[in-house]
Amino acid sequence: MSSIGIFCGSANGNDPVYRKAASQVGQRLAEKGVGIVYGGGKVGLMGAVADAALQHGGSVIGVIPQSLVAREIAHTGLTHLHVVANMHERKMKMAERAEAFIALPGGAGTLEEIFEQWTWAQLGLHTKPCAFFDVNGFYRPLQDMIRQMVSNGFLKKSYEDMLLFSANISEITEYFANYHAPDVKWSR
């Protein structure tokens, strides 16, 4: 795997464990020779992932909308920074460049981005795996909600099984290496 898309917070959260974990992800992916494709910001967990990867010789591609560049939050020290027109174009460019996706802790934008990739995988628009880096049990309530969707008949078990929740980046990259996509929703 040559590139992984990272979705994460533009804030650090209120526990230093989140920033530390983001830095570890950046470092470990760089050490494995896996490039990072992310939202292009220098702030919060986004900046921590990028800085750690760069400090350890990694390739980091940022994709940021012009409106956020204008607010001076773009990371200017990346391997490459793509400036795009809007958030829709950002997500498309990231989806094109990444072979898999990891959500670190974050807010609504983080969830929206990883959910879109997961949904696209269910629909067969791509066959790329998705994972949640579950720092300090951050994503346990979400995992419970997804199980609730399955138990109430709104989501196939095979689509729940498409996701990995783990606090171990090596486990996540191993999962990605061995991933096999399920049949697509409403396949012929």
What secondary structure, in 3-state letters, does 9-55 show?
CCCCCCCHHHHHHHHHHHHHHHHCCCEEEECCECCHHHHHHHHHHHH
- How confident is the model at residue 72, as a pLDDT? 77
pTM of the shown model: 0.95
pLDDT (tens place) for every residue of the chain, 188 residues total: 899 999 999 999 999 999 999 999 999 999 999 999 999 999 999 999 999 999 999 999 999 999 999 887 999 999 999 999 999 999 999 999 999 999 999 999 999 999 999 999 999 999 999 999 999 999 999 999 999 999 999 999 999 999 999 999 999 999 999 999 887 766 55
Q: Which amino acid is at 106?
A: G
pLDDT at 93: 96
Nearest to residue 114, comparing CAs of 3, 31, 9, 22?
9
The CA-to-CA distance between both ends of the chain, in Å, stands at 30
* Whole-number Cα distances in Å, 166 to 33, 67, 94, 121: 21, 33, 22, 20
